[in-house]
Amino acid sequence: MPTNPWRGIGLDVYESHMSDPDVGQLAALLGITAAQLRDHPSRRVGIRGIAAGNGLDALDETEVDSVSGYDINADYLEACRSRYEARFGDRMHLIECSIDRSLAITPTDLLIANLLIEYIGIDEFAAFVAANTTAIGVPSCVTQRNGEVGVVSKTKYSSAFVGLESIASEVDPDALAAALSAVGWFEVSRSEHPLPNGKVLTRQDFAATS
């Protein structure tokens, strides 16, 4: 199986690209993650596709028992560890893995998955949620609509992201809601967050049907 292209994108390049003024995604995701944490105060927080921990600054270390971060890129996780270990200590658990239906997670009150579903697909994400239903409190997800921009925003770093075009697919929020509904989770809220270059981030929160 070919290596996942995310493993070949350096953190400096990734963060420079995402914080380019025309892209503005790092800051937008930081703000949305802060809102997710505020809206769902949780002692056990899980973040899928955590990268280097964007958003953890918004988490009060005195208010959590565990922070679990999952990502396919080991270098991102190492950076996350060095940035946040002093704050979270042994309550932070960073796991290098490919997120799919075979992944069994530790119980999590709030499960954040921001800009991850594009890369694993709606069906795989729904199967992952279904397989871990008893371990999840609230799933809160962010996906992006690309408009005319395309999957990879234009910056001087864009060439490093070309490999993602082979694995990325745009997520229709209605299709995501339908897929999660089919496995027992209904959408309780949706909000849209436009970006400088015309892309739009959509946040959707879910609750179990029973």
Ligand X SMILES: C[S@@+](CC[C@H](N)C(=O)[O-])C[C@H]1O[C@@H](n2cnc3c(N)ncnc32)[C@H](O)[C@@H]1O
Q: What distance lies between CA 172 and its chain's CA centroid?
A: 16
Spatial separation of the C-alpha atoms in residues 126 and 204, rounded to whole Å: 14
Report the C-alpha gap between 145 and 194 in whole angstroms: 9
Is the Cβ–Cβ distance between 8 and 163 less than 8 Å? Answer: yes
Told to check if 49 binds ligand X by CB under 6 A, we report: yes
The site for ligand X, by CB under 6 A, has a size of 19
Tokens standing for residue 83 = 């940035």
- Choice from 23, 29, 179, 201 touching ligand X (CB under 6 A): 29
Stretch that binds ligand X, among 66-74, 82-90, 168-176, 188-196 (CB under 6 A): 66-74
The whole-angstrom separation of Cα 73 and Cα 78 is 9
Closest approach, Cβ 110 to ligand X, in A, equals 14
Stretch that binds ligand X, among 81-89, 111-119, 150-158, 195-203 (CB under 6 A): 111-119
Burial of 94 (0-12, 13-18, 19+ CB in 10 A): buried
At its nearest, how many Å lie between ligand X and the CB of residue 27? Answer: 10
Residue 55 binding ligand X, by CB under 6 A: yes
Using CA atoms, how far apart are residues 124 and 13, in angstroms rounded to an integer? 28
Shortest distance (Å) from residue 190 CB to ligand X: 18
Beta bridge partners of 206: 187
Q: Which residue is nearest to ligand X (CB)?
A: 49
Nearer to ligand X, 137 or 163 (CB): 163
Q: What CA–CA distances, in Å, run from 131 to 42, 136, 138?
A: 21, 10, 15
Positions in 114-143 near ligand X (CB under 6 A): 114-116, 119-120
Candidate ranges 48-56, 125-133, 145-153, 194-202; the one touching ligand X (CB under 6 A): 48-56
Of 45, 46, 76, 105, the one binding ligand X (CB under 6 A) is 76
CB of 33 to ligand X, least distance (A): 6
Structure tokens at 203: 């946040």
Nearer to ligand X, 54 or 108 (CB): 54
Does 20 contact ligand X by CB under 6 A?
Answer: no
- In 89-169, which residue ranges form alpha helices assigned H by DSSP? 117-120, 122-131
Which residue ranges make up the site for ligand X (CB under 6 A)? 6, 29, 33, 49, 51, 54-55, 70-73, 76, 98-99, 114-116, 119-120
